[in-house]
Amino acid sequence: MGKRYHCEYCNKTMVAAPAIVKTHNKGVVHQKLVQEHYQQFKDPETILAEEAYKKPCNRFASGQCQFGGICRYSHYTRQEIDTLREYVASKKNLNKIQPPPSFHDLYQKLQDEKAKNEPDNDTTVLYDSNGVTHVLPWTYNSLFDSYDESLPPSIKRMKLDDFKGAEFTEWG
């Protein structure tokens, strides 16, 4: 059995000969299904621009239009087009009301978020008996304090006493 081509739009399988695939892709049924597939992803502005000046399809109104998405006439009613116009107009007015934020506002928002996400000094800074400060390069989740000594050593909160007497004989 030779190679087969499966058209996702039409859900049909055919011989993968270039002439057959090309003929299939030029067919009215295939073009109609492709157009209907991509119609669902269009935004209202695009639909309104395409459909606003088309004449209404008389066959679609009676349920007999065989062209579907590739019909040169509009399949939208006047009420649907008016609703689209109102929606697009309200969307444009909403964008006009809210001006884009200034550079200073964006910078201030970024600084506020950065300050919110900075680690607490209680979890990342250690003070020893000499008053020397040690800053740990990680943060500690304070929820682990409620587990007492049942935590594995890799998750326990470190104290300066844990480092006293530590001997490193080999590195790496």
∠ CA 71-77-79 to the nearest 5 degrees? 155
Residue boundaries of the structural domains of the chain: 4-97, 119-165
Burial class (CB in 10 A: 0-12, 13-18, 19+), 168: exposed
Q: What angle do CA 57, 63, 66 make, to 5 degrees?
A: 70
Average pLDDT over residues 44-50: 87
pLDDT value for 1: 60
Question: Would you state the pLDDT for residue 137?
Answer: 67
Q: Residue 24's pLDDT is what?
A: 94
Is pLDDT larger for residue 143 or for residue 8?
Answer: 8
Q: How confident is the model at residue 11 (pLDDT cuts 50, 70, 90)?
A: very high
Instruction: State mean pLDDT over 150-159.
Output: 79
Judged against a pLDDT cut of 60, whether residue 105 lies above it is answered with yes
Longest dimension (CA), the chain: 92
pTM: 0.46
pLDDT in tens, 55-70: 888 888 888 888 877 8
- pLDDT tier for residue 17 given thresholds of 50, 70 and 90: very high
Looking at the chain, list the stretches that DSSP marks H as alpha helix, in order from N- to C-terminal side: 18-26, 28-39, 44-51, 58-61, 78-97, 103-117, 121-124
